[in-house]
């Protein structure tokens, strides 16, 4: 397959928390989903996040399909095609519908990170109201500079992914299901469709 880039799910939340703007570049890259400081519930925040997910998934599919078309047209894999079932029988290249199976995948990264981030917001901003949204956004934008007490509170009082904690696990399951629904079945360039791909290395090691 052609690796056309990962989908960085935690970055989508960061963009959501800045109303569609990437705080690193200062550029508007996503949808305008509202000032998160005005959100009155976790559900309102998650709804904005989900809208951004669908927006970026659609963008990722368009870009991936464009790259696939360019590979098929300009970068044939002649040697590889010799060893992949049906390429010779069809007389088609590996990148141009030659293989028997032509599904595509979007690799999503950072499941643990996005789960932990949403867990912090849900528990400490909307449920217990220990911090407000403005405080959290400022702390993350400045890497918790001068906010050591907040950092330690979050580290020690938050249900985190990977600890057999039902609170965090429910968030992770919801994210997984929503990513699946956003990606599953979108058409690729080869007459088949995209699926969600979440390898353990890309989810837990690289990111």
Residue 1 in domain = no
Sheet of 194-197, strand order: 7-8, 104-109, 194-197
Buried/exposed 66-80: b ≥16 CB within 10 Å, e otherwise:
ebbeebbeeebbeee
Residue 84 in domain = yes
Residue 2 in domain = no
- Does pTM top 0.85 for this prediction? yes
Return left, alpha or beta for 66; rule: phi > 0 is left, psi -120 to 50 is alpha, else beta: alpha
Residue 101 in domain = yes
**Domain encompassing residue 42:** 7-204
Q: What is the pLDDT along the chain (207 residues), one digit of tens a residue?
A: 678 889 999 999 999 999 999 999 999 999 999 999 999 999 999 999 999 999 999 999 999 999 999 999 999 999 999 999 999 999 999 999 999 999 999 999 999 999 999 999 999 999 999 999 999 999 999 999 999 999 999 999 999 999 999 999 999 999 999 999 999 999 999 999 999 998 877 777 666
Residue 24 in domain = yes
How many structural domains are present in the chain? 1
Residue 27 in domain = yes
44 by DSSP, 3-state: which?
Answer: helix
């Amino acid at each position: 397959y052609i690796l056309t880039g990962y989908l960085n799910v935690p970055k989508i939340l960061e963009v959501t928390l800045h109303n569609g703007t990437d705080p690193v570049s200062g550029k508007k890259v996503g949808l305008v989903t509202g000032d998160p400081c005005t959100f009155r519930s976790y559900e309102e925040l998650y709804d904005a996040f989900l809208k951004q997910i669908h927006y970026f998934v659609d963008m990722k599919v368009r870009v991936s399909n464009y790259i696939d078309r360019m590979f098929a047209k300009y970068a044939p894999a002649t040697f590889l095609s010799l060893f992949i079932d049906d390429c010779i029988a069809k007389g088609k290249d590996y990148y141009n519908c030659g293989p028997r199976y032509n599904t595509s995948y979007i690799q999503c990264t950072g499941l643990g990170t996005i789960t932990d981030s949403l867990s912090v917001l849900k528990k400490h901003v909307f449920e217990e109201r220990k911090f407000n949204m403005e405080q959290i956004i400022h702390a993350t934008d400045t890497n918790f500079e001068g906010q050591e007490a907040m950092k330690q509170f979050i580290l020690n009082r938050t249900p985190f992914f990977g600890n057999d904690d039902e609170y965090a696990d429910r968030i992770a399951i919801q994210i997984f299901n929503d990513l699946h629904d956003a990606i599953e079945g979108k058409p690729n360039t080869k007459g088949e469709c995209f699926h969600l791909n979440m390898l353990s290395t890309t989810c837990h090691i690289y990111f």
